[in-house]
Amino acid sequence: MTTRREQAVTGLVPPQTDEAVIRTVWPTTAIYSGAATAGRLMMRTIILAPLAWLMLAGPYFLRVIPFLARPYTLTNRRLMIQKGMRLRPKQEIPLSEIEDVRLVEDSNSAFYRSASLEIISKGRVVMTLRAVPSAESFRQAILNACKAWVPGRADTGHFIPASAGKSA
């Protein structure tokens, strides 16, 4: 007979029990800044746009080829930049060490809908995630994971009982 672990909320795994992936994002083509800038400028013209598509095909596939890819993964324990066929951590930081996450935009950010995220720990940048798609959303996911999983970091606010809304 196999044993089954019960969970209070389906899919919710506390970090003390196991590591669970919250979100994984793959950098946009803007990670190759030279090609991204050239492609952005060329796509402004009707004549050069098809050439830009061909030029950006190489960088697009380079970012997702398994042994070259560098996805960014957020778990209930840490934030990682992964690499390789088996996606092993290249760089990582525990959630407990993250103080803030700063959004840094450049000239390609609006066009590629991505930006860089700087991870702040002990008052300095310890990790930079370049060309993150929907960067503000991923930034909020990191900050929310820190609040949810790091002891003492939750912003609990004031408790309002459910009965407070009922009139007598």
130-155 pLDDT tens trace: 999 999 999 999 998 898 888 777 76
Domain hosting 93: range is 21-150
Residue type at position 31? I
- What pLDDT is attached to residue 7? 47
Nearest CA-CA partner of 28 in 97, 137, 116, 95: 116
CATH number assigned to the domain comprising residue 127: 2.30.29.30
Tell me if 3 is assigned to some domain. no
57-105 tens-digit pLDDT: 877 777 777 777 789 999 989 999 998 778 788 999 999 999 999 999 9
Model confidence pTM above 0.85: no
Tell me if 115 is assigned to some domain. yes
Tell me if 81 is assigned to some domain. yes
- What pLDDT is attached to residue 3? 47
